[in-house]
Structure 1
Amino acid sequence: MPKTLHSKSLLALTLALLLSACATTPGGPHIDRSYNSDNQDSRALFLVLHYTVLDWEKSLRVLTKGGQVSSHYLVRDEPARSYLLVDENRRAWHAGPSFWAGHTQLNSSSIGIEIVNAGYVDTPAGRVYADFPEQQVQEVIRLVRDIVARHQIRPERIIGHADIAPGRKQDPGPKFPWKRLADEGIIPWPDLAQVKDKIALFESLPPGAAWFQDKLARVGYKLALTGEFDQATKDVISTFQMKYRASDYSGTPDAETAALLEVMLSPNGMLLNTPTQGAKPYTPRW
């Protein structure tokens, strides 16, 4: 290559690098992007799972048109496929009035996943929730893994809409396979052997309302310490049961629910599955 041509190529490369480091807009600031701080993390601190209570077509329309509600992702049931509706760097309107572990208004600090699902119907025999198809569950798991890996969302911060708005919301409901997510190593789960050992203790010495309220608040739920089994407390207990003991989510403060809470808040009470070592103790930062 001739010396003059080589010099011109080198100059062009240098100018290109300078322009990329100092991107500008007409009349805008000269921003130098050549430095990057170590002291940062993702704005997405939480991942919130929902169901839509609508079919695919209606879900898509409500979440994309002027319904004042949106979500970053929508997971279709048939075929099972994930759709990006709101860029992850932007705020979606999915959480509404919300609270978890001292954080409020979670729209600003979360990524939302809506899952196409009919929700529930009330029948003479009681409330009946719709199942999630296996292929859809697998797609949700893949999507959750992908989001968590990119944003480094802590396992205990993968939560349901009901967790952040108990009583007002039920989704993703008792048919959502939270234990499956635990088995896949995505979220932590109470050590069930420890839970079993503690049930007899709580059957003989049932805790009072203040005990349940304190434990549930320490897990992350918004709950006033009234010392009474009021409706708000029953709603939170039911929400907790729906996630960790879906066979009975009546809101009754029974011994098994107490044992689950006691173990969850005890040292080495929570386990997180790992690919190589199986279930290992995990300490959530509630």
Structure 2
Amino acid sequence: MKKGFLIILALLSGCQATTPSSPTVPQAINTTYVARSHQPRINAIVIHYTVADEQRAITLLTGKQVSSHYLIAQYPKDHQTSPEIYQLVPEEQAAWHAGLSAWRGTYNLNKTSIGIELVNRGYSLPSGQHHGHCESYPPQQIAVLDKLVREIAERYKIEPANIIGHSDIAPLRKVDPGPCFPWQQLAQQGVGAWPDQKRVNKLLAGRAPDTPVDNALLLPLLKQYGYVFSAHATPQEQRQVIRAFQMHFQPENSSGQGDQLTLARLQALLLQYPWHH
């Protein structure tokens, strides 16, 4: 009797060992509530210039210190019809192109932007001078950039006011892409922000465009548009912030001394591209 009981127990144990385990049912995720305090992971495009030539730029941008998602050559090579576009960092990864930066309430734009470098010798501003020299951007290079920025902006639904230069997000450190960059041309083609001329004329209200304007009038409006700087900025730092705005939206006067045209263009931009913060 005892032997038979052991045989039955062994058979039952074998059955238990071969019984398939029940599949794990994934827990449903509740998506009823959506937080209001959020933003897209990629919400800006930042334009730079390299200062270095193409080969030197490739070496620098593929090294350990700095990187960019894209690099656009200056001219087509012999076998090309357009300048080369190099993708150096996948768009879903952060590139080290922005450094210490801020724009419209976002800090550290490395994590939230696409960086595009243009081969260009850059903008030189002699010490103590208000006007410098910059190298123009060839039409072929701008045509390639236009198409690339348009595609990226559409892919991530990037607002015009968030297509910006390095000098916009780091006005105390950077001047690229400089006053020779054709922001107005690109905006007229549907890429980026630019103040409407009729609105600017109306805001000028007949005042002479080159009449100086006090910094105290411009600085709060610059903050309202999205520039980030300390409330305790020195006069020199204030000039640098104003100059950053002018290099983007008033390249005919990038002295850092605001005038009535600076004010009117800034006011027009605030009306056209309000920042809800």
Q: TM-score of the superposition, structure 2-length normalised?
A: 0.77
Following superposition, the deviation at residue 232 of structure 1 comes to 1.4
Question: Does the 8 Å CA contact 1:241/1:248 hold for their aligned counterparts?
Answer: yes
In 2, the alpha carbon distance for the partners of 1:53 and 1:43 equals 29
CA shift, 1:245, in A, is: 1.1
C-alpha change, 1:31 and 1:238, in structure 2 (3 Å) is farther
User: Is residue 2:254 matched to residue 1:257?
Assistant: no
Higher strand share: 1
The range that moved more, 122-131 or 185-194, is 122-131
Q: Name the structure 1 match of 2:252.
A: 247
Same amino acid, percent of matched pairs: 39
Question: 2-side partners of 1:112 and 1:44: how far apart?
Answer: 11
Q: Post-superposition shift, 1:201?
A: 6.1
Counterpart CA distance in 2 for 1:162 and 1:92 is 17
1:153 to 1:231, Cα distance in 2 relative to 1, 3 A? same
**2:44 alignment partner in structure 1:** 46
Q: State the shift of 1:247 in Å.
A: 1.0
CA–CA separation in structure 2 for the residues paired with 1:147 and 1:110 = 10
Matching residue of 2:147: 142
CA 31–147 in structure 1, closer or farther in 2 if over 3 Å, else same: farther
Three-state SS of the structure 1 residue aligned to 2:223 is helix
* Matched residue SS, 1:113: strand
Contact 1:46–1:109 (8 Å) recurs in 2 = yes
Higher relative contact order (CA 8 A, sep 6+): 2
SS in 2 for 1:265: helix
List structure 1 runs of 4+ shifted beyond 6 angstroms: 37-41
Identify if the C-alpha distance between structure 1 residues 199 and 84 changes in structure 2 by more than 3 Å, giving closer, same or farther.
Answer: same
Find the counterpart in structure 2 of residue 221 from structure 1: 227
Higher-Rg structure is 2
Shift of the alpha carbon at 1:118?
A: 0.6
Shift of 1:88: 0.7
Structure 2 residue aligned with 1:88, among 91, 116, 136? Answer: 91
Are 1:111 and 2:114 an aligned pair?
yes
- Amino acid corresponding to residue 191 of structure 2 in structure 1: I
What one-letter code is carried by the residue in structure 2 that aligns with 1:57?
Q
- Paired amino acid for 1:210: A
Q: Post-superposition shift, 1:203?
A: 5.1
The structural deviation recorded for 1:285 is: 4.7
Matched, 1:211 2:217: yes
| Residues 130 and 213 (structure 1), Cα distance of their counterparts in 2 relative to 1, 3 Å cut | same
CA deviation digits over 1:54-85, x for unaligned, max 9? 1000000000123x000000011122121110
Unmatched runs of 5 consecutive residues or more in structure 1? 1-29, 271-281
> Deviation of residue 198 (structure 1)?
2.7
Given residue 90 of structure 1, which amino acid in structure 2 is its aligned partner?
Answer: Q
Amino acid at match of 1:114: E
Q: Summarize the Cα distance change of 1:234–1:123 in structure 2 as closer, same or farther, 3 Å threshold.
A: closer
**In structure 2, distance between residues paired with 1:57 and 1:166:** 28
Distance in 2 separating the partners of 1:58 and 1:121? 19
Measure how far apart 1:151 and its partner are.
1.3
User: How many residues in Structure 1 have an aligned counterpart in Structure 2?
Assistant: 240
Shift in Å at residue 213 of structure 1?
A: 1.1
Q: Is the 8 A contact 1:71 1:85 kept in 2?
A: yes
Q: In the TM superposition, what is the alpha-carbon distance from 1:31 to its structure 2 partner?
A: 11
Q: Deviations over 1:168-207 (max 9, x none)?
A: 1000111111011111112232121221233356659965
3-state secondary structure, aligned to 2:239 = helix
| Pair 221,41 (structure 1): closer, same or farther in 2 beyond 3 Å | closer
In 2, Cα distance between the equivalents of 1:231 and 1:238? Answer: 10
Please tell me whether the aligned partners of residues 95 and 107 of structure 1 are also in contact (alpha carbons under 8 angstroms): yes
Contact 1:96 1:107 in 2 (8 A): yes
How far off is 1:132 after superposition?
0.6
Give the root-mean-square deviation of aligned CA atoms.
3.0
